[in-house]
Structure 1
C-alpha cells in the first residue's frame, strides 16, 4: 500500500487516488491525479472535523450506505481485506455526509424581496425560448413508393380536420392515435428537418411532404409562442431553491478553504510526484 499523503493521521493511498481519478474523469494523467488528491484532502479534512464533533454512524445508516456502495461497484469485495476497506470507506462517507448536512443545511432565509431583486437584475437569464406546437404524419421508407404515398396523402389534405382524420389511418408514427400530436417544443429538441419546417410555418399551415432519415413527413403547425421572459410568480419557487442550493455550496467551499488554512501543517504530501 503506497501512501501518497496524510491528513492528520488519515492516510491517502495511491489506490484511492486511482479510484477518485476514475470517478472524476476516467483520464489517468498527472493533472487529473492531482485534482483527485485535492478532493480527497478536502474530504479527509471534513472527516477529521466531523470526528472531532463526535459524529457516529448508526447500524441502519451504515447498512443503507453499504448497500448503496455495493450497488455502485462493478465487482463485490474478493476477500476480507477488501471487505474491511469497503466498510471503513462506507462509515467515513456516512460521517462526512452527516457533517456536511449539519453544517450546510442550516436554515437559509431568502426573502421574497431578495428574490425579486435578483430576478429584476438577471431578467435575461429567465427567457423562455420560442416554442411551437405541431403534429405530423409519417410515411416510413426512403424509396419512390414512400414518396408517392406521402404525396397522395398530402393531396387529400386541405384543412386541419382533413389532417387529423387522415393521420389516424395513414401515419406510421406511434403518435397517430393522438392525431400525430408532437406537443410543444423549442429549437434543438426535434430532428433538424422537422424543426426547420415547423418554425417556418404559421399556425394552421400544413407543410408539403418533406424527407428525413425516418421517412416522409407532413407537418401541421397548431400554434406557436414567441420567446418571452418568465414571470416572477412562475419561477420564484424554483429560483429560491436554486439560490438556497448555491448558498449551501458556497458555505461548504468557504468551510473547506478555512480548514485548509487552519490545518496547513497537518496536510503532508509524501509522494514528490504530487508536489509540483
Structure 2
C-alpha cells in the first residue's frame, strides 16, 4: 500500500477545536526554557519549537483567524482577551499535534492513502451531496487539499494515542453504579413510533428530500395547497385499502428523505413533530392510518406503529449505552494522560511570551457545525 509522508497539518475540523477548548483551561506542562522573543527562520517568524520542529507565526495566525471567523459567524462576541485565549489554546494544540506526529514516527505508525480515502469517503457521505461538503470547507476556511491532510492528522492522532493507552475495560459493577447514581436520568415521557408519507408543498424539500426551514403559510398559494391536498387524498385512499403495506407505499409515494426507510419516524415524545402531526398521531390507535394532516411542510399521511407509556428505562435497556459512555470517559482521561507524558518528555521552547500556558484562562465556548 502507498503511504504518504506525514506533514504537520495546518488546521483541523471541529474535532481539533473540541480538544483545543479542553487545553485552554487545563494545567499545562512548563516549557523547558524561559520564554524568549520570537525567532526567525528565513522569512518566517518562529513562535515555538517542539524538539527542534518549528511552529511559525503564520501557521498559528491562519488557524486563529479561521477560528475567530467561525465564532463571529455563530454570533459570538469576540473580545481581545477571547482572541488571545484562542491563540494560546491553538498554539498548545499545535504543540500536541507535533508531539503526536513525532511519537508516531518513533513507533512506525502512519495513515496510508487507502485508509485516508476510505475515511474521507465516509465523512463526505454525511453531507448528502458534493455541494454540502464544499459549503463545509468554506465554513472552516480550508481548501480540500488542506482538509485532507487535517483528516490524516486526526486519524494518526487517534492511532498513536490509542496505542499508547492500550485497551480500556469497564466492569459491569461500574456500569451498575453509574446507573444507580442518576435515577431521574432515565425517566421517559409517553412515546409513539410512527411512519409517514409526506406530500410536501413545492420548495419544502431540498436535496435528497431533506426538509427545509418551515414555510410561511401565507407564502403558499391556494392552488398549490389544493394540488398538494388532492395528491395526499389519492395516496391516503391507497393506504387505507386492505392488504396494502404502508411501508412499501411510503417508499414509492413519499417525497421526503425518510421515504427510503418506509417513512419510519422512529420513537418520539411530544414536542418533536409539527403540532398538527403530533396531535393526530398521539390520538391514533395502533395500526391506524390518519390524515392527510397539514403542516408547514405539506400534507402528512400517518400510521401509528406502536406506543410506549410513560415510565423508566430498565438497567438492561441502557446498560450498553452507559458502558460506552464510561468507556469514552476512561479513554479520554487516559489519552489526556498520554499527551501529558509526551509533553513532559519533550523539549518545548516558546519564543512568544503571550503564548505561555495560562492555567487560569476560561474554557472557550464551542461552535456547533455540521455534521
Tell me if TM exceeds 0.5: yes
1:240 — aligned with what?
A: 323
Equivalent position of 2:350 in the other structure: 269
136-145 or 243-252: which moved more?
136-145
Residue 94 of structure 2 is matched in structure 1 by: 40
Query: Does the 8 A contact of 2:46 with 2:56 survive in 1?
Result: yes
Task: Compare the two structures and name the one with the higher helix fraction.
Answer: 1
Partners of 1:92 and 1:151 in 2: CA distance: 50
User: How far off is 1:186 after superposition?
Assistant: 0.7
2:190 pairs with 1:108? no
Change (3 A) 1:229 1:55: same
Displacement of 1:201: 4.6
- Work out which structure has the larger RCO, using CA pairs closer than 8 Å and 6 or more positions apart in sequence: 2
For structure 1, which runs of at least 5 residues remain unmatched after alignment?
78-85
SS at match of 2:192: strand
Calculate the TM-score normalised by the size of structure 1.
Answer: 0.63
Q: 1:116, 1:39 → 2: CA distance?
A: 36
Structure 2 unaligned regions, length at least 5: 1-43, 72-82, 122-136, 202-220, 359-371
Query: Structure 1 112/192 Cα, relative in aligned 2: closer, same or farther at 3 Å?
Result: same
For residue 297 of structure 2, the aligned residue among 195, 205, 214 is 214
Across the two proteins, how many residue pairs are aligned to each other?
254
RMSD over equivalenced CA pairs, Å: 4.9
Change (3 A) 1:111 1:136: closer
**Contact 1:46 1:96 (C-alpha < 8 Å) held by counterparts:** yes
Aligned-residue offset at 1:4: 1.4
Distance 1:149 1:173 in 2: 15
8 Å CA contact retained: 2:191, 2:267? yes
Query: Does the 8 Å contact 2:194/2:264 carry over to 1?
Result: yes
What is the TM-score normalised by the length of structure 2?
0.50
Question: What SS does the aligned partner of 1:2 have?
Answer: strand
Question: Do the aligned partners of 1:132 and 1:199 also contact (CA within 8 Å) in 2?
Answer: yes
Change (3 A) 1:11 1:190: same
Tell me the distance in 1 between the aligned counterparts of 2:233 and 2:101: 71
Q: Give how far 1:118 is off.
A: 1.6
Bigger Rg, which one: 1
Shift of 1:235: 3.1
Query: What residue number does 1:10 align with?
Result: 53
| Structure 2 CA distance for aligned equivalents of residues 95 and 136 of structure 1 | 43
Closer, same or farther: CA 217–273 of 1 in aligned 2, 3 Å: same
Question: Partners of 2:160 and 2:299 in 1: how far apart?
Answer: 58
Matches within 5 A, 1:126-165: 126-127=186-187, 130-135=190-195, 143=222, 145-146=226-227, 149=230
* Structure 1 residues 124 and 163: CA distance shift in structure 2, 3 A: farther
2:135 aligned with 1:74, yes or no?
no
1:28-83 CA-partner distances (Å, limit 9, x unpaired): 843332221111122334445566xx42247xx45446768998973559xxxxxx
